[in-house]
Amino acid sequence: MEKTLSIIKPDAVKKNVIGKIIDRFESNGLRVAAIKKIQLSRADAEAFYAVHKERPFFGELVEFMISGPVVVSVLEGENAVAKNRELMGATDPKEAAPGTIRADFAESIDANAVHGSDSLENAEKEIAFFFAQREIL
């Protein structure tokens, strides 16, 4: 069993498709172990995406992530990290496989509906960034 961190980004929250996205997880062997809706501060977004701070799109990425509330969750299941990435689809929705979350709900590489941890090591760090141990059940 693995745990991974998912974020439903501001574009998808604005589109009112939180439930449809969570259904993709639950229908594909992932269980919601923790969940909350929050407004990220600029400091939160900069810290969360610190690995990308030298990239040309960092400023836009931070602006986008604080443009409205997000839904952060911990998903648990067999191979949860890879399974979530598979359900999400490619970073650029134009390249995302049909039937993936980004193909179905995302507009652009900036507004791409969801985030998912890219490794078990990052999943542990990202889960600890958002949740206390007693919130993960």
Task: Note the residues at the interface with Mg ion (CB under 5 A).
Answer: 118
Question: Among residue numbers 89 through 108, which ones bind ligand ATP (CB under 6 A)?
Answer: 91
Q: Which one, 69 or 134, has the nearer CB to ligand ATP?
A: 69
Binds ligand ATP by CB under 6 A, chosen from 44, 107, 118, 124: 118
At 85 the three-state DSSP class reads helix
Which residues sit opposite 23 in a β-bridge? none
**Calpha distance 25→87 (Å, rounded):** 8
**Calpha distance 32→25 (Å, rounded):** 8
Q: What residues are designated binding site for ATP?
A: 9, 57, 85, 91, 102, 112
**Calpha distance 36→113 (Å, rounded):** 16
Q: Which residues bind ligand ATP (CB under 6 A)?
A: 52, 57, 61, 91, 109-110, 112, 115-116, 118
